[in-house]
Amino acid sequence: MARFIPAPEKILKARALIQKARDLPVPEEGGRWNYAYVAQIRAYLEQARDLVKFIPRTPSATAELKEQVKQIFEEAELAHKEILR
């Protein structure tokens, strides 16, 4: 059975995954369009979104937590645009 992770911890992990995607070095072969590089970036960003996507639906979610989740989605979208476009 999976271990329960509190919402604030999920938010921190999601931000770390987004930063990990930003810090991933661009490979010399193929540059930004290297298939494995693009797949890794998308995987990190998807993992970040998946960690927090259900937080707003929980009964214990405060307005502050919901706002942080919204910011995570915006940060992930911004990172995607900055890294891959």
Tell me which residue of 85, 3, 14 sits closest to 55, measured CA to CA: 14
Model confidence, pTM: 0.92
Domain count, the chain: 1
Rounded CA-CA distance 46/29 in Å is 24
* Structure confidence at residue 53 (pLDDT): 97
Report if residue 2 sits inside a domain: no
**Which structural domain range is residue 74 located in?**
7-84
Question: Could you tell me which residue, 11 or 1, shows the higher pLDDT?
Answer: 11
Q: What is the per-residue DSSP string for the chain? A: -PPP--HHHHHHHHHHHHHHHHHSPPPTTTGGG-HHHHHHHHHHHHHHHHHHTTGGGSTT--HHHHHHHHHHHHHHHHHHHHHH-
Rounded CA-CA distance 71/57 in Å is 16
Question: Could you tell me which residue, 31 or 23, shows the higher pLDDT?
Answer: 23
